[in-house]
């Protein structure tokens, strides 16, 4: 291989890689006869070096140590998003806006976009999270109990809910029991408390497992891309919620501007602003965390 070709091919590699391997790599290249396949293979090697420089030079842990907290910040922001989203959903059901939303129009479209964003975020969280969780489950058996915490929390909510459905389906209670009784409030308060405690416990447990468990670069890389998709869907939901609130304010001005945290269970300007504020903070935190967590190339300075 000519000196000129060798020099050109070496310039394709990152500076940090050349610092470590240039001399011996140049000696090896001199032994090869020049040909398109050799040039192509060397170019593929340069691309690999640029994509995986940190791994090749033994800095994978420093990269992982930045990606993991950023992914966990996205996960935490998303859980907060889910909580306020469900709160808003609970208020909208049977609210004064129900008729306007069922009859179509802009209010309906905004809410459909919000629901579509939540579905996309769930898909992104599943695609990004499951491979990481599976690898930790497989490779770090001592951390499995932490991964079981969300399952137990879900069961603590699903079991009484399922029991209620069974009781209602078998007409063990009247279909129209009238105004909520103290017992009804107790069940609702229990579910809300368990849901909030379960969300916090799940986030803490998953955080601990992901920080201490063993997950491959590939799984973490996939989770990072899924994290960006999740953040994008959060931004869509935020925009839809803002639009929904503005439209709802115009539609039912008096009801929307009623005092209190909510208007007798229906959304008002205060509850809407709380939801928007949490969603906005969550979206910004998720985006900043992913951006600061960066990828392998950003974690290593000498890429020129």
Partner 1 sequence: VPDDVSEWGRFSDPSLLILASLAAGPKHGYAMVEDIAAMAGVRLGPGTLYGALARLEQRGLIEPLPPEERRHPYRITGAGRAMLREQLRGMKYFASEGLARLATND
Q: Which residues sit at the interface with partner 1, rule CB under 8 A?
A: 17, 21, 23-29, 31-32, 37-38, 40-46, 48-49, 55-58, 60, 216-218
> 131: which 2 tokens?
């491979």
SS3 call for 236: helix
Nearest residue (CB) to partner 1, 21 versus 154: 21
CB 266 within 8 A of CB 96: yes
Nearest residue (CB) to partner 1, 49 versus 290: 49
Minimum distance from residue 28 beta carbon to partner 1 (Å): 4
Minimum distance from residue 295 beta carbon to partner 1 (Å): 16
CB 258 within 8 A of CB 303: no
Nearest residue (CB) to partner 1, 133 versus 199: 133
Minimum distance from residue 57 beta carbon to partner 1 (Å): 7
CB 84 within 8 A of CB 279: yes
Radius of gyration of the chain (CA): 27
Minimum distance from residue 20 beta carbon to partner 1 (Å): 8
Minimum distance from residue 256 beta carbon to partner 1 (Å): 54
Minimum distance from residue 127 beta carbon to partner 1 (Å): 19
> 37: which 2 tokens?
């396949």
Nearest residue (CB) to partner 1, 33 versus 176: 33
Nearest residue (CB) to partner 1, 28 versus 165: 28
Minimum distance from residue 9 beta carbon to partner 1 (Å): 8
CB 268 within 8 A of CB 262: yes
- Residue 266 dihedral angles phi and psi, to the nearest 5°: -95, 155
Burial, 234: exposed, middle or buried (Cβ in 10 Å; 0-12, 13-18, 19+)? buried
Nearest residue (CB) to partner 1, 110 versus 132: 132
CB 51 within 8 A of CB 218: no
Minimum distance from residue 123 beta carbon to partner 1 (Å): 26
Nearest residue (CB) to partner 1, 139 versus 292: 139
Helix extents (H) in the chain? 3-11, 15-31, 36-51, 53-56, 60-92, 98-102, 106-139, 144-169, 182-212, 217-251, 253-256, 269-293, 296-299
Nearest residue (CB) to partner 1, 27 versus 169: 27
Cα diameter, the chain: 90
CB 56 within 8 A of CB 47: no
């Amino acid at each position: 291989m000519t000196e000129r070709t060798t020099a050109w091919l070496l310039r394709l590699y990152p500076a940090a890689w050349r610092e470590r391997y240039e001399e011996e790599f140049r000696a090896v290249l001199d032994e090869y006869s020049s040909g398109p396949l050799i040039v192509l293979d060397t170019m593929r090697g340069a691309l690999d070096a640029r994509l995986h420089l940190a791994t090749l030079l033994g800095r994978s842990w420093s990269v992982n140590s930045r990606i993991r907290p950023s992914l966990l910040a996205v996960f935490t922001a998303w859980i907060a998003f889910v909580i306020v989203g469900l709160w808003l959903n609970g208020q909208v059901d049977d609210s004064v806006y129900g008729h306007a939303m069922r009859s179509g129009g802009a209010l309906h479209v905004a809410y459909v976009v919000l629901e579509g964003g939540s579905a996309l975020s769930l898909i992104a969280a599943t695609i990004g999270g499951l491979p990481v969780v599976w690898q930790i489950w497989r490779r770090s058996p001592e951390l499995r109990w932490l991964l079981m915490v969300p399952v137990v929390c879900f069961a603590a909510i699903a079991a009484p809910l399922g029991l209620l459905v069974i009781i209602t389906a078998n007409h063990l209670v009247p279909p129209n029991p009238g105004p909520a009784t103290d017992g009804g409030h107790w069940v609702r308060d229990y579910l809300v408390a368990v849901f909030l405690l379960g969300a916090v416990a799940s986030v803490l447990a998953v955080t601990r497992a992901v920080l201490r468990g063993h997950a491959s670069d590939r799984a973490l890389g996939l989770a990072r891309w899924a994290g960006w998709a999740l953040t994008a869907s959060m931004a869509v939901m935020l925009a839809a919620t803002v639009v929904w609130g503005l439209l709802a304010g115009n539609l039912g001005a008096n009801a929307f501007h009623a005092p209190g945290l909510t208007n007798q269970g229906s959304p008002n300007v205060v509850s809407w602003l709380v939801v928007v504020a949490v969603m906005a903070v969550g979206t910004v935190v998720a985006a900043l965390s992913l951006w600061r967590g960066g990828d392998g190339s950003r974690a290593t300075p000498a890429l020129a």
